[in-house]
Amino acid sequence: MKTTYVLASIAVMLASPVLAQSAAEKTGVNSVMGVAPKTEDFVTEAAASDMFEIESSKLAVERSRDPATKTFAQQMISDHTRTSEELKALVSGGKVKATIPTAMSSSQQSMLEALTKLQGDDFTKQYHSDQEDAHEDAVDLFKRYGDEGDNAELKTWAAKTRPALEHHLQMATDINK
């Protein structure tokens, strides 16, 4: 019984699109070198990023006492829900050969779990910091794919979406001061 459980767990982990990322993208080598991610990596990272943005922002709407943070969080929920739907439409419409992950990365999940343990000002400070970090990563990802991605439809979408992410990053930076 125990062996079956372990084997099943390993199979699920290996099948996870988040774990299927190329080593160069997963380790950050592509980002440092400014290399565009593979299409599957881009889809995985973009979708997981949206999941983190949405879930952490839902927590912020519930837990933060700061009206500016609540307003920012509500916009993140709205905007990242929209980009998630657009990405899913590109994949389900057959224009992009990739799989949408069903879970965020383990590091994003850890960040979310850490947020759930915080309240009040501690929560708000960590949420602000996480948002700034997440949007720095997203802007970098979308820039690299929008500049040199290998799927024309997805490349156009990434380039079109990047200015909104840059605006989110500026908002996150401002609110994090």
- CA dist list (Å): 26 to 17, 20, 66, 87, 114: 12, 9, 35, 20, 22
- CA dist list (Å): 114 to 22, 69, 126, 127, 173: 27, 18, 9, 10, 21
Tell me, what's the pLDDT at 15?
A: 41
Contact by Cβ (8 Å): 101, 88: no
Task: Tell which residue, 8, 93, 98, 100, has the closest CA to residue 48.
Answer: 100
* Tokens linked to 41: 């990596």
Residue count of the chain: 177
Query: Is 112's pLDDT higher than 50?
Result: yes
As a whole number of angstroms, the distance between CA 88 and CA 72 comes to 24
User: Average pLDDT in the 14-36 region?
Assistant: 54
Tell me, what's the pLDDT at 36?
A: 85
As a whole number of angstroms, the distance between CA 110 and CA 176 comes to 20
pTM for this one?
0.81
What homologous superfamily is domain 2-175 in, according to CATH? Answer: Ferritin, core subunit, four-helix bundle (1.20.1260.10)
Task: Tell which residue, 176, 122, 125, 145, has the closest CA to residue 42.
Answer: 145
Confidence of residue 121 (pLDDT cuts 50, 70, 90): very high
- The per-residue pLDDT for range 139-177, each reduced to its tens digit, is 999 999 999 999 999 999 999 999 999 999 999 999 988
- Residue predicted with more confidence, 70 or 21: 70
- The per-residue pLDDT for range 36-89, each reduced to its tens digit, is 899 999 999 999 999 999 999 999 999 999 999 999 999 999 999 999 999 999
Tell me, what's the pLDDT at 54?
A: 98
